[in-house]
Amino acid sequence: MTLAIFDLDHTLLDGDSDYLWGEYMVAHQIVDEAEYRRRNEIFYAEYQRGELENDSYLEFCLQPLTLHSLDSLHNWRTDFVEYWIKPIVAPGTRALLDHHRNRGDTLLIISATNLFITAPIADLFDIPHILSTEPEIIGNRYTGRYLGTPTYMEGKVIALNAWLAGSSHNLEGSYFYSDSINDLALLEAVSIPVVVNPDEKLSVIARQRNWQILDLLRA
């Protein structure tokens, strides 16, 4: 089967789930508003510029998970998906996913956002496969560390290749949809790169290389 691979934030979603989870925690007083928001804004701006130091960011964003029980975190997450994520599903997302399902393609999300946030969003889209930075859990508690290779920039290619090695799939005829210059390495690795509402840097490259440019916000 052909692989149809999707970035999540600003691709299938009209927004950034990782950033919004931070805003959700601020809004519900799960974290200190002033300090968390200040640092969250800095990291988000660095990500948008393609300059994020990912280990520092992961230490920051995974730390709040260590302070609460899994039951509390899962209850908050359910509320978050219902009221913060469902409203920002890009208008063209469902039709694009259905197009690939109707072709018989295998759907896969690969996102730099950690698996605590992305797993229920993949379920929302009924996408069976997801590669996402995996937070470590020991004794029913998050540790603040992550397992394996973070799925960020070239890490997405590393994680995908590891997944392919354990599956019957390959990249022949494969698609990858993304908005971000941070995903250039994976866009270059697939057969059919498609940019979705791209950032400025990726838009320039896409036009130079005659890559398809898709607008899911107007679909």
Pick 132 or 19 by higher pLDDT.
Answer: 132
Residue 62, pLDDT above cutoff 70: yes
- pLDDT recorded at residue 219: 64
Amino acid occupying residue 168: S
Q: Which two tokens stand for residue 137?
A: 């859990």
Does residue 68 contact residue 135 with C-beta atoms inside 8 Å?
no
Average pLDDT over the chain reads 94
What integer is the mean pLDDT of 17-28? 93
Which DSSP string do the residues of 128-169 spell out, in sequence order? -EEEE-EEEESSSSEEEEEES---STHHHHHHHHHHHHTSS-
For 85-133, what is each residue's pLDDT tens digit?
999 999 999 999 999 999 999 999 999 999 999 999 999 999 999 999 9
Q: Are 117 and 21 in contact (CB under 8 A)?
A: yes
Query: Identity (one letter) of the amino acid at 86?
Result: K
Cite the active site residues.
7, 9
Sequence-separated (6 or more) residues with CB below 8 Å from residue 119: 130, 132
- Say what the pTM is: 0.93
Q: How many residues does the chain have?
A: 219
> How far is Cα 15 from Cα 22, in angstroms, rounded to an integer?
13
- Domain 1-219 part of CATH 3.40.50.1000: yes
| Relative orientation angle of helices 17-27 and 54-62, to the nearest 10 degrees | 30
